[in-house]
């Protein structure tokens, strides 16, 4: 009994230490500074494939950069017309961006046959790179944020955007001083741990980490709720359990 009591005390001490450590790290992550990121007033371009990507995957980054007073732009490479809902989804995107603090004048939606909303079509990374570069140069962008090589969900359109930014960087075409952050893909278990994934996110290597406060998490939920045409039962579960609605880990290319 005495040994069991000692082990219980030790476990409790470790648990308390862990909670305090995670809390302290979380507090640092919600402060308006992140090492290596451009300073306040920087112009940042979020590059997505479909309407709802911004809320479903990038809300912590958008709201975290807002803390840094970044001027945010969104470039969406399709209208999400896979089920012939393109016009509806464009309106939903603008509503979601409004909730997230991105004004309509800073939202650009591409409607081009070269970039269909179709998981079975691999977009040409060179063509996507040309379009992306035009928007970077036209808006004086200092930071580009997009998917990593896993595309979070593995969607081929997401992966193509990562290939596009890699092409620009490899060829040295990005303007001087413009950097690229990519959103880390994680395994299926971590993906649906929500805030329980925070210790892993803190311990594992990353260049930037954004964790939403309770108020910001509610804001992210409202943004995702704007995409009413997409709110099937499994996406409602996603909103409750996905870490991407609360936590974003990103790395520089």
CA 112 to chain centre: 24
∠ CA 88-90-96, nearest 5°, is: 105
Query: Tens digit of pLDDT for each residue in 164-206?
Result: 999 999 999 999 999 999 999 999 999 999 989 999 999 987 8
221 has a pLDDT exceeding 60: yes
- Burial bucket for residue 10 (CB in 10 Å: 0-12, 13-18, 19+): exposed
The torsion angle over the Cα atoms of residues 186, 126, 170 and 153, rounded to 10 degrees, is 0
**Separation of alpha carbons 115 and 146, rounded Å:** 16
Lowest mean pLDDT among 67-76, 134-143, 199-208: 199-208
φ and ψ at 81, to 5 degrees? -95, 20
Tokens in use for 229?
A: 């045409």
**C-alpha R_g of the chain:** 19
Q: Which residues, 6 or more positions from 65, have their beta carbon under 8 angstroms from its beta carbon?
A: 37, 44, 72, 145, 210
């Amino acid at each position: 009994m005495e040994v069991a009591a000692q082990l219980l005390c030790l476990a409790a001490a470790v648990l308390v230490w862990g909670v305090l450590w995670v809390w302290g790290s979380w507090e640092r992550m919600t402060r308006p500074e992140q090492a290596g990121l451009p300073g306040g007033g920087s112009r940042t371009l979020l590059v997505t494939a479909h309407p709802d990507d911004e809320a479903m995957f990038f809300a912590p980054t958008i709201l975290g950069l807002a803390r840094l007073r970044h001027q945010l732009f969104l470039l969406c490479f399709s209208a999400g017309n896979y089920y012939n809902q393109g016009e509806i989804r464009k309106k939903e995107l603008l509503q979601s961006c409004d909730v997230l603090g991105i004004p309509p004048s800073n939202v650009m939606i591409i409607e081009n046959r070269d970039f269909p909303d179709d998981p079975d079509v691999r977009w040409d990374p060179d063509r996507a790179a040309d379009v992306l570069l035009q928007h970077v140069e036209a808006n004086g962008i200092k930071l580009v944020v997009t998917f990593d090589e896993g595309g979070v969900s593995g969607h081929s359109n997401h992966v193509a955007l990562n290939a596009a930014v890699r092409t620009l960087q490899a060829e040295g075409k990005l303007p001087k001083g413009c950097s690229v952050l990519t959103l880390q893909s994680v395994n299926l278990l971590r993906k649906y741990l929500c805030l329980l994934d925070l210790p892993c996110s803190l311990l594992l290597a990353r260049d930037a980490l954004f964790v939403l406060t309770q108020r910001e998490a509610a804001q992210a939920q409202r943004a995702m709720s704007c995409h009413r045409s997409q709110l099937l039962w499994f996406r409602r579960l996603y909103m409750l359990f996905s870490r991407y609605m609360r936590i974003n880990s990103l790395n520089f290319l």
